[in-house]
Amino acid sequence: MSQQEIIELEEKAKEVRRGIVETVYSASSGHPGGSLSVADILTVLYFKELNINENNPNWEDRDRLVLSKGHCSPALYSCLANRGFFKKEELKTFRNINSNLQGHPDMKKVPGVDMTSGSLGQGLSVANGMAISGKLDNKNYRVYCILGDGEIEEGQIWEAAMASSKYKLDNLCVIVDNNNLQIDGTIEEVMSSYPIDKKFESFGFQIIKIDGHNMEEIIKAFEVAKNVKEKPTCIIAKTIKGKGISYMENQVGWHGKAPNKEQYNKAMQELK
């Protein structure tokens, strides 16, 4: 990609982050930290990588995305709104009782959401099913599954990883958002899943390690993944929880709380 295209993606990521802040602030609840850490990856997916059509969300040949760490729905909603799946004004209805945009994404209510998620550890199993279905039907779509580094402490992830490898799902790309923080502290303090790369490698995955905030590295990783044959790919993206907002970065307290008005204004100013 040209440098201008990289700059445009970086600007789009700022817009996505503004949507995240707007969403969580409007609801006075939500999960900003992990939403902000995965924002650059989702921006590349929705504005560069995914073969999707906002005018036909259920197009059967579309690429699929499973946000297994579903509590980070503000990032997904912001991308979908900016892509045109629904109006940006809806972001302000997040978690309202009659809103389609609930705390965890609902595939029956939100256009562009491929899988209802939120119960951690289940997304890779679902992504496997999508990828196997694609192979059985001779479809060319790809399946992307975003996992949290705390989430992979769940045993079901590793059962699913065995299946990904057994069925040689080279149409599957797993992305681990490795921001090193979960609700109760660092990954090491809670239940260390390190070394993440060696674990997925031992389960038969092709490993790609990147800076999850470097647009060029993210784009290149997806290109490499598309050329891997006979095995699934795992991209381990080193990220910063709360990325883009000075007082949230690397602060575990921002895992699941909303900014007040003063903090909201400061965040939006920083994201101009």
Per-residue pLDDT, 235? 99
Per-residue pLDDT, 1? 77
Mean pLDDT calculated for residue range 149-154: 98
The CA distance from 38 to 32, in Å, is 10
139's tokens: 């479809």
b/e map 63-91, b = 16+ CB within 10 Å = bbbbbbbbbbbbbbbbbbbbbebbebebb
Percent above pLDDT 70 for the chain: 100
CA dihedral 115, 133, 172, 179 (to 10 degrees): 20
CATH number for the segment(s) 3-270: 3.40.50.970
Taking only the tens place, the pLDDT of each residue in 156-188 is: 999 999 999 999 999 999 999 999 999 999 999
| Dihedral pair phi/psi, residue 179, rounded to 5° | -95, 0
Q: Are strands 185-186 and 181-182 parallel, antiparallel or unpaired?
A: antiparallel
Per-residue pLDDT, 254? 97
47: three-class secondary structure by DSSP: helix
Taking only the tens place, the pLDDT of each residue in 48-102 is: 999 999 999 999 999 999 999 999 999 999 999 999 999 999 999 999 999 999 9
Domain boundaries, the chain: 3-270
Average confidence score pLDDT of the chain: 97
Name the DSSP class of 99: -
* CA distances from residue 261 to 20, 21, 212, 226 in whole angstroms, order as listed: 15, 11, 29, 43
| Dihedral pair phi/psi, residue 118, rounded to 5° | 145, -35
Per-residue pLDDT, 133? 98
Taking only the tens place, the pLDDT of each residue in 201-235 is: 999 999 999 999 999 999 999 999 999 999 999 99
